Amino acid sequence: MHEAGQPAWIPFILPVVIAIVLALRLRGMRRARRLRLETLAIVPAIYFVVFAVSLWEYPPVGLLNWLELGVATAVGGALGWRRGKLMRITVDPATHALNQQSSPAALLFIVLLIVARSGLRYEGAAMGLNVLQVTGLLLAFGLGLFTATRIEMFLRARRLLEEARAA
């Protein structure tokens, strides 16, 4: 058994599973998918609930920890905005249907975040980091990232749709 009752093979199989999922995702990125403005808020809303429950169960201690969460959220938001700009959004001129196509750079960005999170998860305690605090920071970062990505996509898609309807 590994740490916390976890089988020792889990850290070794996880990268294989991630690689398979990413390969399938890269293959699917070649085609555009339908973009529905009304569903863009679902992922950030779910993530917010996860973040709020985490804060409820393990609240930050002290002003410094709250500030760190705020900075992590802001940094995630800034990078999420950039990630949102990497998404290709098009409007079908005949039907005015919105389509999106993820950028390989956006996927690479998520892969780097997963690698960083995994490294901190497995090596954070050995480095003397508070794993709960690191997890909270990563959740705050993710909340900012996913929310800003969706906001940027929503604003840009709405503007493109309005331009297409006016033409």
Tens-digit pLDDT profile for residues 30-70: 678 899 999 999 989 998 998 899 889 888 888 999 999 99
DSSP structure class, residue 98 = E
Span 88-147, pLDDT tens digits: 899 998 898 999 987 776 667 667 766 766 666 666 666 666 777 877 888 899 899 999
Confidence of residue 159 (pLDDT cuts 50, 70, 90): very high
The Cα–Cα gap between 52 and 143 comes to 10
Scan for tokens 């901190």, then name that residue.
Answer: 120
pLDDT at 137: 86
Confidence of residue 6 (pLDDT cuts 50, 70, 90): low
pTM of the model as a whole: 0.74
Every domain of the chain and the residues it spans: 1-30, 33-166
Phi, psi of 65 (to 5 degrees): -65, -40
- For residues 46, 88, 26, 32, the Cα torsion angle rounded to the nearest 10 degrees is 90
- Return the CA Rg of the chain: 19
The Cα–Cα gap between 77 and 80 comes to 5
